[in-house]
Structure 1
Amino acid sequence: MFSAPFDKPLPRQGDPRKFAQQGVHLAGYVPVSQLPRVRDLVLEEEGQVRVDLMFGISEEGKLVVQGSAAGDLVFTCQRCLGPVTLPVEADIGLALVRTEMDAKQLPRSMDPWLLPEEGNTELFPMVEEELLLSMPSVAFHDHPCIDEDLLSSGEPVEPEPAENPFQVLKQLKGSPKK
């Protein structure tokens, strides 16, 4: 079984089907700069994502990849608009399929990874997709990062009683008919 440490880059390409049949374990890092959709959402692209992938065969006899991708990414805080570093962790669990029909036949517990008919495929887009699914919808500091006074618009104002729109109808109804 092949295994690589996290201090080396993850291979960009490989044959996931062969990896699964051979029980290959891949571990390494992917530079954020190599993940274009993630790069568009973060402030700094100098970081790295640690990736650990174990290829194999499931109990159902399906070729699968399981593992994780994790890294500290720098986002824009939606409160103060400054940088905020947040951990992003993705659990990876995919069945390797060739066609959409194969994907539809998977158990509900398995998500498909649609691969080309034969040969090598890019690994980075799969890692990137799993990271995107795990990113926070809104990034912000876990501590107060702006002045509390900025959150207030002044003294509370008592709402004026609303005029009843049916008051006119009530008056018309109560008036004598001519």
Structure 2
Amino acid sequence: MFSAPYDKPLPRQGDPRKFAQQGAQMSGYLPVEKLNRIRGLLREDQAQARVDLTFGISEEGKLVVEGQAEADLVFTCQRCLGPVTLPVEASIELAMVRSEEEGKRLPRTLDPWLLPDDGNTDLYRMVEEELLLSLPTVAYHEEACIDEQLLSSGDPVEPKPAENPFQVLKQLKGSPKK
């Protein structure tokens, strides 16, 4: 988990290439209400994502950013349709690239982060993409959140004895040919 204070917002815009060349480190928060793609999946969007980013140059000479983002997000439980708060954690390991071709040549341990030519980039968008990849497939309470009797549709139905599928063939075999 995080140990740094998150009393300041993460800057929204910046030049990650310059940050990497300077070996910059950033810690801060960003309001989930500013993350449009995630906000549409949530029941409530008043949470804050806590973010730690370290920019630098990898051993292969690639400009990289590594870090973590985490948030406690409120979804709609798919069992009871009530609110359920789930922790979402994203591990960030990206290499900055100028083209998709350059991204295809990266080591498997790094995902590409396609940057515009002018360098000025929306850091919130990058964090949002990493959080999106970490969202649960289905949101639900870990404990039983609905009465098990509500799952029943009434009296149990006794299964019929299985019919022999070859019974019809037996009848046809015994009938005379025309």
The residue that corresponds to 1:84 in the other structure is 84
Distance in 2 separating the partners of 1:61 and 1:5: 31
* Partner of residue 24, structure 1: 24
Instruction: Tell me the equivalent position of 2:73.
Output: 73
| Residue aligning to 1:146 | 146
Deviations 1:61-88 (A, max 9, x none): 1110000100111000111100011111
Structure 1 pair 5–24 and aligned structure 2 pair: CA distance change class (3 A): farther
Q: In 2, distance between residues paired with 1:110 and 1:45? A: 30
Q: Which residue number corresponds to residue 161 of structure 1? A: 161
2:108 corresponds in structure 1 to 108
Aligned to 1:41: 41
The match for 2:59 is 59
* Matched AA of 2:39: R
Deviation per residue, 1:29-49 (Å, 9 max, x gap)? 010110001100111111100
Q: After TM superposition, what 4+ stretches of structure 1 lie above 4 angstroms from structure 2?
A: none
Instruction: Return the offset for 1:162.
Output: 3.6
What is the alpha-carbon distance in structure 1 between the residues aligned to residue 152 and residue 177 of structure 2?
53
CA shift for structure 1 position 8: 0.3
- 1: CA distance between counterparts of 2:8 and 2:53? 14
What TM-score, normalized by structure 2, do the two folds share? 0.93
Shift of 1:174: 2.2
Q: Note if 1:15 corresponds to 2:15.
A: yes
Distance 2:64 2:44 in 1: 32
* 1:94 matched residue in structure 2: 94
Q: 5+ unaligned residues in a row in structure 2: which ranges?
A: none
CA distance in 1 between counterparts of 2:5 and 2:125 reads 21
In 2, the alpha carbon distance for the partners of 1:78 and 1:144 equals 12
Letter in 1 for 2:14: G
Q: What RMSD in Å do the two structures reach over aligned CA positions?
A: 1.5
CA shift, 1:7, in A, is 0.8
* Structure 1 unmatched runs, 5+: none
Measure, in 1, the Cα distance between the counterparts of 2:48 and 2:64: 25
How many residues end up aligned between the 2 structures? 175
Structure 1: distance between partners of 2:27 and 2:64: 16
> What's the CA shift for 1:115?
0.3
Q: Which amino acid counterpart does residue 102 of structure 1 have in structure 2?
A: E
Q: In structure 1, what is the Cα distance between the partners aligned to 2:119 and 2:107?
A: 25
By how many angstroms is 1:175 displaced?
2.9
